[in-house]
Each structure stands twice: as C-alpha cells, then as structure tokens.
Structure 1
Amino acid sequence: MANLELPPNRPEIDKIQEACGITAVFSKTGELISPITPSLQDRLQHRGFDSAGMAAYKDGKINVYVGQGEVNAVFPESFNFKERGLISDRAIGHNRYGTSGGDDKDDTRGCQPAIGEYQDREIAIAYNGNLPDKVRHELKLRIPKELRDSMFDTEDIANAIVSAKGETWEEKIENGLNGVDLAYSLTMLTDDGRVFGLRGPSGTWPLWYGETDDKIIFASETRVYKDGDIKWKEAEQGELIEATSSGILKRKIFEEVPLLRCGLHDAYGAKEDSLITEGITYADFRRELGRELARECPMDVDLIVGVPDTGLVMAEGYAGQLRRKSTILIGKNGKTPRSFIAKNLEQTADIINKKFRVDEEQAKGKRVLLIDDSLIRGKTMGGHQEKGLKGVVARVRDAGATVVHLALTLSKFVDGCDMGYYIKKGQLVAMVRGDDGRYEIRSRQEIAEAIGADSVNFLSVNGIEKVYEKMLGEKNIACMACMGQPYPLDIIKSKKLSIEASIFVR
C-alpha cells in the first residue's frame, strides 16, 4: 500500500487541468540517488509553481510526498528524506501547473505523483498534459465503476493502467491506454520497483531520457541535468521506455498518429537552454521564428526590443534578419513566476508590477518594436486598469517612447485549448462576443487599440509551418488549434480513416 502524505487543506473544486514538469531517476548501481529528484524538479520550476512532489520505492512499497508551492518550499534544505521513506535508488517527480480558472486551484488532490490502486496492484504516475473531455470520457468507460469517480484525469490514467488486463506492467500500460492518442507524457513507478517513461502517440508533450555510466534520468526538458557525460535522447511517439540496471529498454506500444507538437509550448513553455530535438535548442528554434517574423513583417523603427524572457532571443533573430542588433530595453527584477500561468488577474498584476523595468534613457523619443512569443489574454501587454495592472506597452510609452509597435511569433489565438494549457475562448484578446452571443475575430488594429499599441502584427500560420519544417523536419508539425487550425482529434481521425481506406483498396 502506498504511503501518501498531503497537507490537510482539501477544499472542494470544480475541475483542474495541467501542463506540468515530470522527471524520474534510476541508479544502475543501486546508489541511493532519489534525493536529487527535487533538484531536477527545481530546474523545471517554470513549468508549474502550484505544487511539487515525488514518489520513491522503498522496502517493497511506493512512498509519496507532495505539497503546495514551489519545489524549494515543499523540499527545503532541512527536508528529511529518510523520515518520509524517500531514500531510494529510484524515484519519480512532478511540478504542477494547475489551471482550474477558479480560486480553488490549490486543491491538494491535484498534486502529483498520483497513485492508482486496484486488486492489490498499484502504480504511481507523474503526468504532463491533459486529456480532452471526449478522450477522458472514453477512457473512464474502460475503468471499473468503483474507480470512475476520480476528479482528475491524472487519476483516470493511473486507474486505467492499474485495472487493465495483463500480467506484466507493459501489458497493463498498453491495454490501459490503447486508443488514448493525446495529449500526455508520463513517468511511472510500479509496485515492484520498475521505472518507466511513456510519450503519448501524438507527441504533443515532450519526454527525454538520458543515460550516464551510473544512472538514467527521464525529464520533460534536458536542462534538468547537464553533466557532460549524459547522452540525451528524445522519446518517440508511443514509445515505452524502461530504466534498468543494464541500461535502457524501449519498445513501441502504440501506433504513431500525426506528430502534433504544442506550438505554444515550443514558442513559450520550455526554457530556451533545453533541447527541442537532438542537436537543436529551443533558443535556436525561437531565433528562427524571429527571423521568419522579420521576413514577413519588417518594420522601420529605432529599437527592436525583446520582451523578457522568451522574446529576447526572438528579437535577436528578428534584428539579425534585418542586419541589425536588438536592444535590451526591458529588464527583469529577479526571479518571478510566469504571468501567463498566474492563478488570477490579481496575481498577474503583482507579477508584472514586480517583474518589468524599462530603461527610460534608451526609450526616450524612440520608435520601439516589441517582440514577444504570443498575445493570448492581452493582460501582460495591455494591462488591466481596474486591477491596478499597467501593461508592458504602457510602461514603454511612459518611459518616453513616441511609438510602440508589437509583433508576435505566433498567430492570433482565436480558440481555447483543452490539451494542457487552460485557455478559454472568452478570455482571448483577439475575440469579442457580439450581442447575439457569437464570437468574432478582432482585426489587428482593434487588438492594437485594446492593448494601447500603435500596431500589432502576427507571424502567419504558414510562416510557423516553415520554421518547423526548416528546423525540425517535415514530420514535426505544430498543433495550432488555438490559432484556428484543425483540432488534433479531427486530424488523427482523418489520418486513421485514410490509412484504413488505403488498406481496403489494396
């Protein structure tokens, strides 16, 4: 039986969705390395600030410890791993980005790793992603009735695996998740001490595994461990990977569907020093997005300015394409959470008010072009007067800029997301609801007026596709459903029907 420790506060909530950071560690020599798990998770802190946790295998059972807040708050220097049963040669870890949209998003039941238990078997999972409602509903139907009242899709996944047919864990994982094409990556720790990683068939969320002489590490991003002797490999779609004392064992357990990387994650979510694919960093990819933006939208301005953090390297690419240099005009005040994944507008305002400072000496009298990854809700750029939030555009103008333009390396966001980033259509700055209740897409000028900029430009969908093909190859395409492109489930269904038709013709 797993030993699960939680803080006592357990308020009722409606629904939580997640796009988080996951890890796993395994010693090939039996060394008790599980205490390095929080340090790995700390390097994924940007992926979620709401909670952190880990599970370790000790004396024939899985012990889990989770808590609210950042990694260093849950696992301070004084944390007693031995007392919690977390000293082991294997463990998995998790950071949570919870996105319920309500004030109860800190419900500790959403903390991970989560445990699935059924008929004396159990498994702990750390999960990055989110199951769309249709996928989750279909998954629930295959779970025994007594396990269907789970609140979180994390629990649904764990319950589907642990209750599935099969003598081995490989069989249970394959049978439990067969047909669940998107959108997830997992690390798993079983009741007999086995450690697995699995990247879902759509490949929407990343998973990497690295091996040294004495250990194996799984992670959402390669920045977690940079010792020179590690060899990082990107998990393939539908690939189940096991860490063993003799090395890596891997097998394809699910057929590939079209690879649908999250476009927002690649432009914004991951840290730029991590690999996006072998040999190419997110910084390389984002710099090319900036170049493509310059090819599509060259502008005559005095200063080309990246908005920290992701906009900085994009501005470098934009300026470089025009044979110019970008300017560091906006500084950051230390380490702050990411404003997009703040719990509410009050927290967004607090983050931005602390985060940005503009160099007035450089800005005065200048025409400024701000470069950033995306414009979603518009609060970071445009602010919110009632909440005391002054946006970046107003801050640059107040610093003395005569003109402030904005250019984004992603297209207009015109629809919500239910695959990991909790985005509601009604929150989008590019959408407005008419008197008849229908949503309409705002023009670029209307969006500019809404955020106080002189103009707004977006990289086209075609431009984004060019960058993916150039940097990652034809196979790597982006899911851009939030930007008005086809919904992944429709793409996958169409592809499967096409394959079935070709088989029938032959």
Structure 2
Amino acid sequence: MPNEVKSLNEECGVFGIWGQPQASNITYYGLHSLQHRGQEGAGITANDSGCLTNIRGLGLLSKVFQDPKRLEELPGTAAIGHVRYSTAGNKTLDNIQPLMFHFTDGDMSLAHNGNLTNAHSLKQRLENEGAIFHTTSDTEILIHLLRRSSHTDFLDKLKESLRTVKGGFAFLLMTEDKLYAAVDPNGLRPLALGQMKTGAYVVASETCALNSVGAEFIRDIQPGELIIIDDDGFKVDYYTKDTQLAICSMEYIYFARPDSDIHGVNVHNARKEMGRLLAKEQPVEADIVVGVPNSSLSAASGYAEASGIPYEMGLVKNQYIARTFIQPNQDMRERSVRMKLSPVKGVVAGKKVVLVDDSIVRGTTSKYIVRLLLEAGAKEVHLRIASPALKFPCYYGIDIQTTDELIAAHKNIAEMNQFFGSNSLGFLSVASLIKAIGLKTKAPNGGLCVAYFNGDYPTPLYDFESELQAELKRLHESRKQEV
C-alpha cells in the first residue's frame, strides 16, 4: 500500500444547519464545541439562496475566522463546517474541508469525517477513467463517483456512490437546495440530528455541538441512513439496509466530549463506569486516585468511587495546549505533554498514587507522566488504563496506522510496566468495556468496534487487507525472535 493511503486517516468534526439566518455564525459556534476533534484546519461553506461561498484555512477555528468580517463574507440560511484532525504529510490548504465543487448544473460542498478503506483502488479506477483529483483526501472520491454515476436522478446517484465507498464515514453534502447527511453501514462515525427553536435543523458529529447552539436533540442518524433536509423539513431515507451497528469504541473512550451522548449513552457516564469496572478488575492498595486531564477524569472518578480510595487533583492541565494524541509527530506530542501537565506536589508527595488514564497508544506520554509524579515525590505510581490495550491498527479514521506505533503490540504487561517506570500496570478488559458502554443492541461486541484491541474488524478492509496481513506476519515474526 503506497504511503499516501496511510496518510488519509483522520478524526474530524462536522456541523451543518439548514433554515437559519446567519447560518455561518451558528456553524462557527457549533464547530467551536467540536474543536477537540481536530486542530489542523477549519472551514465553512454557506448557502445564500443557492449561492455557495466557502472559506477555509489552516489552524484553529478561531485563527481561521480571527477577523469577524470573514463570517460576514458567508451570508445565507444554510451552512456546513468542518474541523480537521492533524495528520502527518498532508497539512495543506487543499485538504481542508468543506471541499467546494463548481459544476455547470450547480455547486455543492462536502464535509467528511472518517476514512474510506477502498479509497486507493477507487481513486486508481477513477483516474483511469479520466478523473482529476485536486486533493490527497479520500473525501473527494464521493464527488467523482456522484458525477460519473449512470443514474439520471440525483438521489439515486448519491445512494449508488454511498454504496460504493467502504469504511467509516459521516458525510455532509450541501447542494443549492438541500442538505444531505449519511453515516456508514456500521455507524462507525457518529452523527446526530437536532432542531433549533426557530425550526432550523442541525446535524453534528456530537450532541455537545447541538447543545452549544441551543438545538434540541431529535435522533442519532442510523447506519445506512440518508437524511435529506430542505425548506420543507427533513426526510429519512436509506442508501442501504445491509447494516450492522459497530460504533467506534474510541469515541466513548477518548474522542468525544463527556457532555455528548452517542446512541443514547452519555460519554461521561460510560467513562465513569469504565473506571468502576477497572477498579474491580485491577484493584490496588493506594492513598489517592489521580486522573490524567481531561478525558480520563470521568474514569478516575469512577475508579475512586468503586475502590473507596479518595480522588485528588494531582495533575493540572494547561487548557491552552492541544491534545497530544492528535499531534502529527512524536516530537510535537512529547513537547505538548511537557507544556500541558504539571504535578501538584502538595497532593502527591509521599502518597501511593493510582494514576488513571483513558488509553495508551505509543506509551511515551504515560512514561513521562509517571516520571512527573515520581519526581514530585509520589511514593508509588500504579498505572490503570480505562480501556483495553491497543494492539491492532485502525483503518476507519483514527491515526493508528501500524503496529509499530502501538506499544502493547510489542510488549507484555510486565515489559510495559518496566518501560513506564510504574509500580504496577492494569488494563480494562474488552468485556468490561462493552459492559460499561452498555448499548442496547444484540449486535456483535455490544454494537461497538473493538478491532484495535482484539483484531475483530467489523468489515472487510479492502485496500488495507494485504497491509494488515503483512503487519500481523511481521509482528508474529518479531515476537518469535524475542522468544
């Protein structure tokens, strides 16, 4: 698999609104509440009576729209917006969304969260047929498929295109007279539908964005659904009914904001239950429980409640530093950790500390935090992780592309514990993760994608299948050599 395919992985945030004066302003506030999902770039496309205008830029949303006059340049009663997750290699304006397309029969704009697992083969096929791509993002593929469809009706063209792309996706497509929203057949990437008091409809990656603009939640967009919004309201259609729920479990573990609800489950409550079950599975004698700010605080609270060990604020976070996992390279991640976390010496000194974190990817951040606490005088540091060990790559939209990046793929518990310098190490089991989230479904793995933990991918991997097999073979050989 060429390197360019690996660099397509991204975890982003999308927001759309239809039927609201100054829609771009509402979109700005909605995107602001989704900023945690991406900090590389941001953009908004506004629809003013069928005239589409697009502004995009690199950096945080507040930087792109630093000049308030920029939003004034986006008039209209409908808009879609996007915040892009930081990935290595493709940090160019061309890849910042929403993407704009001008055609003789009308303009359209597209925003996408996720990763298409057949993007490489589709792009090759389309290029062989004469298609010219202007970005290295897999998002553009949907538009080429749409324009080359043999169907005459636009809706049929769109449905066929959505059936052709594979993987994890949440799409927002705005034309001159409609807004379309669709998620993949497994619901890997979430989308929620809401309504403003004015009657305007809103679609967003997380319900926290609905709350921030005063929209009332209506429903989650289900796998295989195609929601069509126009001046007459919204309509629920389907592009496929061959579906099976497999929501990305990392949404609950790390990515989503704690005040968001995903398919009826509040993220904070799920994380707190992860912490409670972690305390039962991985108990330890200690003086205090400390959570790694911010996404681990809910789990730390649950661990403290279930264990009876007092919860304390042993780490303070500088809120103006971006999230470390979604920094584009390791050096930037390590620098971010040093800048953003400080131990509270008066709390941890002389104490046996249970350090609760939500996940471990590469391991360098955990190693540094353990060292911080020990240098601050902690007597012992017992590391507890409120998710299973990440051992397998993700091909659906998270920047975990090879087993080289996953410390748990190469080291056992004892080896990782030694590497971190902690006194003990324990992870939550997959079964307890599924139980903690507690989706009301009979789908496999409790309606979750847990492939990163056990290799049980909910879909064929298409272009990535041979890459995965090569990864697993290489990993197997390296383990044999270690033995």
- Tell me which residue corresponds to 2:44: 54
- Tell me which residue corresponds to 1:367: 352
- Tell me which residue corresponds to 2:451: 481
- Tell me which residue corresponds to 2:407: 429
- Tell me which residue corresponds to 1:97: 85
Matched, 1:76 2:66: yes
What residue ranges of structure 1 are gaps of 5+ in the alignment? 1-11, 383-390, 433-441, 493-506
Q: C-alpha separation between the residues in 1 aligned to 2:356 and 2:313?
A: 11
Match of 2:158 among 153, 158, 173: 173
Matched, 1:163 2:151: no
Q: C-alpha separation between the residues in 2 aligned to 1:242 and 1:325?
A: 50
Please give the per-residue CA displacement for 1:59-96, whole angstroms capped at 9, x wherever unaligned: 533221110000000012433334x4x10000100000
- Tell me which residue corresponds to 2:22: 32
Q: C-alpha separation between the residues in 2 aligned to 1:473 and 1:255?
A: 17
When residues 491 and 14 of structure 1 are mapped into structure 2, their CA distance, relative to the original with a 3 A threshold, is closer
- Tell me which residue corresponds to 1:269: 255
- 1:290 touches 1:409 (CA, 8 Å); kept in 2? yes
Opposite residue 398 of structure 1, the aligned amino acid is E
Q: CA deviation at 1:118?
A: 6.0
When residues 429 and 113 of structure 1 are mapped into structure 2, their CA distance, relative to the original with a 3 A threshold, is same
Q: CA deviation at 1:129?
A: 0.3
- 1:148 touches 1:156 (CA, 8 Å); kept in 2? no
- 2:195 touches 2:201 (CA, 8 Å); kept in 1? yes
Match of 1:416 among 393, 396, 399: 393
Q: C-alpha separation between the residues in 1 aligned to 2:100 and 2:215?
A: 33
Q: CA deviation at 1:321?
A: 1.7
Opposite residue 26 of structure 1, the aligned amino acid is W
Q: CA deviation at 1:176?
A: 1.1
Q: C-alpha separation between the residues in 2 aligned to 1:296 and 1:25?
A: 44
Q: CA deviation at 1:14?
A: 8.4
- Paired residue secondary structure (2:109): strand
Q: CA deviation at 1:313?
A: 0.6
- Tell me which residue corresponds to 2:475: none
Matched, 1:328 2:281: no
- 2:167 touches 2:461 (CA, 8 Å); kept in 1? no
Q: Percent identity?
A: 27
- 1:60 touches 1:193 (CA, 8 Å); kept in 2? yes
Opposite residue 25 of structure 1, the aligned amino acid is I
When residues 144 and 210 of structure 1 are mapped into structure 2, their CA distance, relative to the original with a 3 A threshold, is farther
- Tell me which residue corresponds to 2:194: 210
- 1:207 touches 1:220 (CA, 8 Å); kept in 2? yes
Matched, 1:65 2:55: yes
Please give the per-residue CA displacement for 1:432-451, whole angstroms capped at 9, x wherever unaligned: 3xxxxxxxxx2101001112
Please give the per-residue CA displacement for 1:376-415, whole angstroms capped at 9, x wherever unaligned: 1012111xxxxxxxx1110011111111111112111112
- Tell me which residue corresponds to 2:9: 17
Match of 1:110 among 95, 114, 121: 95
- Paired residue secondary structure (1:183): strand
- Paired residue secondary structure (2:407): coil
Q: C-alpha separation between the residues in 2 aligned to 1:303 and 1:474?
A: 38
Q: C-alpha separation between the residues in 1 aligned to 2:124 and 2:132?
A: 6
Please give the per-residue CA displacement for 1:151-203, whole angstroms capped at 9, x wherever unaligned: 2201112222233233333212101121434210011111x331111111110
Q: C-alpha separation between the residues in 2 aligned to 1:334 and 1:269?
A: 16
Opposite residue 306 of structure 1, the aligned amino acid is G
- Paired residue secondary structure (2:71): coil
When residues 165 and 143 of structure 1 are mapped into structure 2, their CA distance, relative to the original with a 3 A threshold, is farther
When residues 228 and 148 of structure 1 are mapped into structure 2, their CA distance, relative to the original with a 3 A threshold, is closer
- Tell me which residue corresponds to 1:438: none
Opposite residue 264 of structure 1, the aligned amino acid is M
Q: CA deviation at 1:416?
A: 1.5
- 1:164 touches 1:175 (CA, 8 Å); kept in 2? yes
- 2:287 touches 2:310 (CA, 8 Å); kept in 1? no
- Tell me which residue corresponds to 1:436: none
- 1:280-359 equivalence runs, <5 A: 280-359=265-344
Q: C-alpha separation between the residues in 1 aligned to 2:439 and 2:161?
A: 35
Q: C-alpha separation between the residues in 1 aligned to 2:313 and 2:340?
A: 15
- 1:165 touches 1:171 (CA, 8 Å); kept in 2? no
- Tell me which residue corresponds to 2:241: 255
Q: C-alpha separation between the residues in 2 aligned to 1:182 and 1:143?
A: 20
Q: C-alpha separation between the residues in 1 aligned to 2:209 and 2:389?
A: 32
Structure 1 length as normaliser, TM-score?
Answer: 0.84
Q: CA deviation at 1:245?
A: 2.5
Q: C-alpha separation between the residues in 2 aligned to 1:41 and 1:183?
A: 21
Q: C-alpha separation between the residues in 1 aligned to 2:330 and 2:109?
A: 34
- Paired residue secondary structure (1:128): strand
- Tell me which residue corresponds to 1:461: 430
- 1:258 touches 1:491 (CA, 8 Å); kept in 2? no
When residues 419 and 13 of structure 1 are mapped into structure 2, their CA distance, relative to the original with a 3 A threshold, is closer
Structure 2 length as normaliser, TM-score?
Answer: 0.88
What residue ranges of structure 2 are gaps of 5+ in the alignment? 463-483
Opposite residue 136 of structure 2, the aligned amino acid is M
Matched, 1:404 2:390: no
Q: How large is the RMSD of aligned CA atoms in angstroms? A: 2.4
Q: C-alpha separation between the residues in 2 aligned to 1:444 and 1:153?
A: 37
Please give the per-residue CA displacement for 1:30-49, whole angstroms capped at 9, x wherever unaligned: 63322221121111110000
Please give the per-residue CA displacement for 1:235-271, whole angstroms capped at 9, x wherever unaligned: 1111111222332211122124221111222200011
Q: C-alpha separation between the residues in 1 aligned to 2:28 and 2:116?
A: 26
